[in-house]
Amino acid sequence: QESSSRHPLLTCVDTVEAALKDVAGVHSVFLTSEEKADVLRRLHTLEGRVTGLRLHVMSASDELAETTADHSVATWLSCETRTDPRSQCGDLSLARSLERRWTRLGEAVRDGSVNLAQARVIARALDELPEAEVGREVTVRAEEALIEYAAEYAPRQLRRLGRRILE
């Protein structure tokens, strides 16, 4: 099958796999300190973006569980990847939240401006807001503010800000 007729997500995965294979034996010892810092920061961001993409695909993959009689795509993936089902279930819950409720946060995870740990804290803080009392407009503004704060604050600080966001 021609690569031009493949789904863009499959092409992306192929490209990333090939690039990682190309550098598998390359040693970082010859990088300058500045280059190492640049590579580490960028790899961290890329890791988050890849995870954001995985969550995005998970949120639309319920049919995979149906084909194997698994409880959910999370349990299916945990079997396929030999990972902790609780962790995968947590990821699926976050994925659904980012796709269905906190879509701006989901976009920020996929574009790399919010990392996964920050997203978990922000989503939890937003879920705890009394939307029935404060209204949708306030929760949307809180989501936007917490996403902006993620540019400067680590998850621990975001947790505190999230608890006090209505103030």
Is residue 75 within 8 Å of 138, Cβ to Cβ? no
Q: Is the pLDDT of residue 161 over 90?
A: yes
Reading the block at residue 132, the tokens are 């029935």
Residue among 96, 138, 145, 100 at smallest CA distance from 122: 145
Burial state string for 45-56 with b = 16 or more CB within 10 A and e = fewer than 16: eeebbebbbebb
Q: Report pLDDT for 102.
A: 96
Reading the block at residue 141, the tokens are 């503004």
Q: Is the pLDDT of residue 1 over 80?
A: no
Q: Report pLDDT for 3.
A: 52
Q: Is the pLDDT of residue 5 over 90?
A: no
Is residue 124 within 8 Å of 162, Cβ to Cβ? yes
Q: Report pLDDT for 4.
A: 65
Residue among 85, 43, 77, 71 at smallest CA distance from 58: 77
Is residue 92 within 8 Å of 57, Cβ to Cβ? no
Note the pLDDT tens digit of each residue in 57-112. Answer: 999 998 998 888 888 999 999 999 999 999 999 999 999 999 999 999 999 999 99
Note the pLDDT tens digit of each residue in 97-145. Answer: 999 999 999 999 999 999 999 999 999 999 999 988 989 999 999 999 9
